Structures are given as C-alpha cells and as structure tokens.
Amino acid sequence: MELYNYIKSLHLIFVITWFAGLFYIVRLFVYHAEATQKPQPEQDILIKQYQLMEYRLWYIITWPSAILASIFAFWLLHINPEWLNQPWMQVKLGFVVLLYAYQAKCHQIFKQLQQNEVKHSSNFFRIWNEGATLILFAVVFLVILKNAINWIFGVIGIVLFSILLMLGYKLYKRIREK
C-alpha cells in the first residue's frame, strides 16, 4: 500500500507539471504571435527569446512530464487492473487520449513557430489555451466523483465558465484597444 501511495503521488506531480507546461506553452504562443507585430529589432529579439523559452519548456518540462505521468498511470493500472472495468476510468482514459491529441496539435504549432511560421493569431491562441482547462476540469470531476454521469454536470459547468471567460476576454480586448 505504501508503494501504491508513492506511485500515485508521483503520477499526480507529473500530471500537474504536464498541465503547467501545456498552459504555459500556449501562453508563450500568444506572446510569440504578438511579437511578430513589433517593430525591428524588437521583433527579432523577442521571437528568438520566445523560441528558446518554448523549446526549453516543451522538451525539458512538458514532454517529460507527459511521459512520466503516463508511466506512473500505467503502473497504477497494473496494480489495480479492475479500474479498467469502471466506466469513470474508461471515460477518463478517453480524456487522456484527447489530452494527447491536444498536445500533438500544440507540438505541431510549436514546430511551426520554431521555423518562424506563424499561422495563427494571438486571439486564436488565447482561445486554444482553454482546451487544456476543459480537459483538466472534466478529468478532476471524473476522478473525484468516480461517476461517469456526474462528471457531465462538471463539464457543463466548465463550458458555461468558459463562455464567461470568452465574454470577459472580449470585454478586456475592447478595453485594451481603447
């Protein structure tokens, strides 16, 4: 039982650092996209710095955290294989797949930005940043409630919260543009 608690703790630590990396990488994408609108030489200086920060965050924190969180998760499932029969765990694993898809898209964007290809606006990245938040809320409600139905209410709540965030962002943007 003590080993189980250590594995669970390490899984949780790496899930937290994984999400921290995902939240911050997209914030760096916002700043990177905005740097393309700056005059020279400020633009070149900022872009070079953001590329370095993105690279370090992505390869030193985010990817290793994702891999380690998954390794410890598989270990936990090896210890408790009956969890795989639980509907809440099956839904959670679906969200983990979705999180990896989100990370894969972030990786694609990361590689584009490293090659000085800015295909999205800072506004797109601000909205994109909410993807990981939605997944986080869904997974936390699911794991705490351990009920494949009740998590839906949590997700509906976070969707409504996201709508409020978007409205708040639009208001902030209007104020900032004045």
Domain boundary assignment for the chain: 2-177
Binding residues for heme: 11, 92
Q: Can you tell me the mean pLDDT for 54-74?
A: 98
What is the average pLDDT score of the chain? 91
Q: Which of 134, 143, 133 is nearest to 92 (CA)?
A: 143
Q: Which of 134, 118, 138 is nearest to 28 (CA)?
A: 118
pLDDT score at 151: 63
- pTM for this prediction: 0.86
Q: Can you tell me the mean pLDDT for 47-56?
A: 98
Binding residues: 11, 92
pLDDT tens digit sequence for 119-147: 999 989 988 998 898 899 888 888 888 86
Is the pLDDT at 117 greater than 70? The verdict is yes
* Rounded Cα gap, residues 18 and 97, in angstroms: 14
* Rounded Cα gap, residues 154 and 134, in angstroms: 10
* Rounded Cα gap, residues 63 and 69, in angstroms: 10
